[in-house]
Amino acid sequence: EVQLLESVGVWGGLVQPGESLRLSCAASGFTFSSYAMSWVRQIPGEGLEWVSAISASGGNTNYADSVKGRFTISRDNSKNTLYLQMSSLRVEDTAVYYCAKDHYGSGSYIFDCWGPGTLVTVSS
Amino acid sequence: DIQMTQSPSSLSASVGDGVTMTCRASQSISSFLNWYQQKPGKAPKLLISAASSLQSGVPSRFRGSGSGTEFTLTISSLHPEDFATYYCQQSYSIPAFGQGTKLEIK
């Protein structure tokens, strides 16, 4: 069974504006190194926003304009883990963050499996 | 950037009814259109990809159609578990989601 599970750093998901945070997504049940992956976020009660994607090898990345230059996506295929390093966090980055598996190996941007999500709150 | 617009934003219906919701793209996206279902407190679930390709395990009462800029999701006979929010998403370029259609029980 394909499973994705997001987690946040040891300090939890509550940070102040300007601070940094790293999200992790542990994958199992499929050949992680063969699939592109993405992060998608959702402000509670609102719609979905794609944040970033990374190719299967990790050699290609893409970002939404709203996070470009502040967020960095990466992966460790030996650990079956996807990461999102978030810096210079803003109040408007407050959201539930989902990791999502690409339906095809290459970046099709069709998301066929999602983690349960992890809440990141940016507040002073 | 390609903008996605869904209508209506909410829809009330009864079990057994058929419903149709629409998704429009700001420019042609061919058939690069996907539909997701999301229930409160849960992650989205992929229902349909490439405008009309039903995902494995998704009931046949769900049907997607359209191409270019206009797409529809039809549920032929509502079951209680179908009441949820539905999002369209284009995968033609940098992904973008519609704002969602909330399907509520009448």
What pLDDT does residue A107 have?
Answer: 84
- Alpha-carbon torsion A99, A101, A102, A106, what sign? positive
Q: State the average pLDDT over residues B66-81.
A: 97
What digits encode the pLDDT tens for the residues A35-79?
A: 999 999 999 989 999 999 999 999 999 999 999 999 999 999 999
Query: CA-based Rg of chain A, rounded to a whole angstrom?
Result: 13
- The nearest alpha carbon in chain B to A50 belongs to B95
Across the range B62-86, mean pLDDT stands at: 97
For position B14, what pLDDT does the model report?
Answer: 97
As a whole number, mean pLDDT of residues A98-124 equals: 94
Q: If you count residue pairs, one on A and one on B, with CB atoms under 8 Å apart, how many are there?
A: 49
Cα–Cα distance measured from residue B79 to residue B70, given in angstroms and rounded to the nearest whole number: 26
Return the higher-pLDDT residue of B47 and A13: B47
Residue A91 CB contacts under 8 Å (≥ 6 apart), including other chains: A17, A122, A123
The verdict on a CB contact (< 8 Å) between A116 and B36 is no
Q: Could you give phi then psi for residue B44, rounded to 5 degrees?
A: -60, 155
Residue A104 has what pLDDT?
87
Does the structure show a pLDDT above 80 at B32?
A: yes
Average pLDDT value for residue range A2-13: 86
Picking from A62, A64, A112, the nearest residue to B46 by CB comes out as A112
Q: Which residues of chain A have a CB within 8 Å of the CB of B55?
A: 112
Residues in chain B within 8 Å Cβ distance of A113 = 46
* Residue B57 Rama label (left phi>0; alpha psi -120 to 50; beta): left
Query: Across residues A82-97, what is the average pLDDT?
Result: 97
CB contact under 8 A, A47 and B36: no
Q: What is the DSSP letter of A93?
A: G
Percent share of chain B, pLDDT over 90: 100
The percent of residues in chain A predicted with pLDDT above 70, rounded, is 98
How confident is the model at residue A106, as a pLDDT?
81
Of the pLDDT bands very low, low, confident and very high (cuts 50, 70, 90), residue B76 is very high
Q: Are B72 and B21 in contact (CB under 8 A)?
A: yes
pLDDT at A11: 65
Residue A10 has pLDDT above 70, yes or no: no
R_g over Cα of chain B? 13
